[in-house]
Amino acid sequence: MGGRRRWAWLWAALAAAACLLAGRAAAEVIVADHFADGNYTQKPRWVVEKGRFRVRNQALVFGTEANGAIRLDLGKTAWRSPARVSLSLRQTQGGGNHLFTLSLADRATGKAYTFHASPNRGYFGTAGISDGKSPGKAGARLNSGPTPQTLVVSFDPNADCLTLLKDGKEVFRTTNHHRLGRVDRLTLSSSGTIRWEVDDVTVEATRPDPAAAARPGGGAVQRVYTAGVPHTDARGRRMMAYDAGRSFFQIGIWGNPIGEVWGTNYDLKVLTDAGFNTMWPWPSWSLDQALAHGQRAGLQVVAMNPQPEALLREYRDHPNLLGNVWMDEPTGSLWGKDMEGKFQEFLAYKKMANAVAPDLCVFINDVPWITPPATEWWTRWNTAGDVSCHDNYPVMHSAQTQSLGAIADTVGLAARVNREQKPVWLIVGAFEQPGKSAYPFRFPTPMQLRASVYAGLIHGATGIIYFTWDTYVCRDGNVIGMSPDPKPAYVPSPRQEGYTHPTPARPDQLVASRALWAMATQVNRELRELTPALLSPTVDPKAVPYSIAVTGLGRTEEPIHALLKPHPEGGTVLLTVNLEDCVLDATYTFPKALRSVERLYENQLPLALEKDANRFSDTYEPFETHVYRIQM
């Protein structure tokens, strides 16, 4: 418990920070066209949509046809990258009220922001500038003669702002009401009569970070385990093919007591009633005690800490022994110490344990610190055991939780570094550390807890463990867990000699504790029902090429992730999760017509589909999960 409290918050914070910073880089000039080469068709390549254009005196000259238009595609820009477009504009022929139009668009959605500008200061009532919905500042207009002017359009999705400046003065401001995450096309057009000249076109934006594209949890459509799903049976023996009689999906609880302690009876039936099938009992209970209680309750057992060789030999064939976690969070707790020495100690212990008890699953549980300089050691620890296991608790007091993407990254990396050949177990957080602690974890919401589990499943977790059941054990470590019937304290409060720390819970924390237990119980039901699908090979996106189009201003370009599995009774199951704190709309498109789409676990009617439709849409609240059964 001490190591968990001492290190986990730091590594979770580092992992979350890495996720937040992914893709951020300084803006750069991505277009600078002064038309000095005498043409507009290359470096960069402008495309005429309508009308006649030419380059004269190092300027792009419009013809006088009505609705002449020319566009420039800006290439890939980073998600939520601000963009700044600057150009010099003057008129050389004609006069009157005719318009010059500048548009910035997102090619993926087809949505655009368009500014119309006229030399007439009253063209749009009070101004000569408008975005088609409202006028600019009163009196603002383009120059009416050949005097050049500089126009600057700035788009900033992070500040929810779009502005137009003329010769350094702001003449229009609006919000990002289309909720665009980027713009990547510039279009210039004219209503005719006036001949416009454009020069010194400069575009500043941020290009995508290649490292962000290589994130282990990146990508909306996940492809993990298309050749088979690594998991275990109830004894920890590795399997790659689902067998209804043998395959086991662990649903575990970490660090529980057993029986009556200080006046509270910790009845293991509470766990089985909530759908748990595994316990990681607090190590003050010996292996023989834990196995005896586990057998009576119908729970598999993961033994904490190294076990004596004689004990392993005696209980190696016990039907309730699932595994042995040798150490908690070594990459964090051993950093700066004799990491290599402890690693060799683990390998020696594992060799002994595997020789004495060949079926025993021996492993460590690690931190979620996967960024340099920890990557190498994290990989070594997480490929050395019979399974890969780590915890990840991204919900903290220190800031609003904006993303659960760190879970996608750590689970995705665990599957990748083990070449999708070893089971991956994920410990999710269902707890709070009250007060002004150096370990600023807070209760997730029920929706965040469910999303944490599904984020793990979608990226490769084949076992889920919750930290933690609310008991005197966690309270002694200044942790309030989840429970169907939590107490203000499990020992005298304030502390009395001979008792552990009480860590009394407020009424609102007791309410949150019950709510999380109820959600865990619901999710556990889903896990049990989904087990045949979860442990069957993922439907290869090459065989069923589906796509996800998201509308809404997410923090990342692909905030909704999905995994397609076969349904044991026919059709497929699509697991989806919104990893971010934003409301989004998603459209799923499949290669052929859909006969039915049913939302599982939502008490809703099947989605209404148009005849022969090969797509469907749905809305996601922040951190919402949808599970669909699809018939094609």
SS3 track for 172-227:
EEECCCCCCCCCCEEEEEECCCCEEEEEEEEEEECCCCHHHHCCCCCCCECCCCCC
Does residue 44 sit within a domain?
Answer: yes
Residues 424 and 512 in one domain: yes
Residue 24 has pLDDT above 90, yes or no: no
Residues 230 and 324 in one domain: yes
Q: Which helix (DSSP H) or strand (DSSP E) does residue 482 occupy? A: none
Residues 239 and 300 in one domain: yes
The residue-averaged pLDDT of 163-191 equals 95
The residue-averaged pLDDT of 128-150 equals 91
Residues 377 and 270 in one domain: yes
Over the stretch 566-589, which tens digit does the pLDDT of each residue have?
A: 999 999 999 999 999 999 999 999
Over the stretch 73-125, which tens digit does the pLDDT of each residue have?
A: 999 999 999 999 999 999 886 555 578 999 999 998 889 999 999 988 889 99
Task: Calculate ∠ Cα 426-447-366, nearest 5°.
Answer: 20
Q: Give the per-residue pLDDT at 224.
A: 97
Residues 344 and 284 in one domain: yes
Spatial neighbors of 383 by CB under 8 A, at least 6 apart, are 417, 418, 422
Residues 512 and 561 in one domain: no
Residues 196 and 300 in one domain: no
Residues 196 and 238 in one domain: no
CATH classification of the domain holding 62: 2.60.120.200
Provide the percentage of residues in the chain whose pLDDT is more than 70. 94
- Angstrom CA distances, 218 to 190, 235, 462, 479, stand at 42, 33, 19, 32
Residues 229 and 206 in one domain: no
pLDDT tier for residue 213 given thresholds of 50, 70 and 90: low
Give me the domain span that covers residue 328. Answer: 224-533
Any idea which of 172-181, 225-234, 248-257, 421-430 has the lowest mean pLDDT? 172-181
CATH classification of the domain holding 590: 2.60.40.1180
Does residue 9 sit within a domain?
Answer: no
How many domains are there within the chain? Answer: 3
Name the β-bridge partners of 231: 239
Amino acid identity, residue 463? G
CA–CA gap between residue 594 and residue 351 (Å, rounded): 52
Over the stretch 427-468, which tens digit does the pLDDT of each residue have?
A: 999 999 988 776 689 999 999 999 999 999 999 999 999 999
SS3 508: helix
Residue 324 has pLDDT above 90, yes or no: yes
pLDDT tier for residue 537 given thresholds of 50, 70 and 90: very high
Residues 201 and 241 in one domain: no
Q: Give the per-residue pLDDT at 472.
A: 96
Residues 584 and 442 in one domain: no
Provide the percentage of residues in the chain whose pLDDT is more than 90. 85
CA–CA gap between residue 270 and residue 520 (Å, rounded): 12
Q: Report the predicted TM-score, pTM, of the whole model to 2 decimal places.
A: 0.89
The residue-averaged pLDDT of 125-149 equals 91
Residues 462 and 397 in one domain: yes
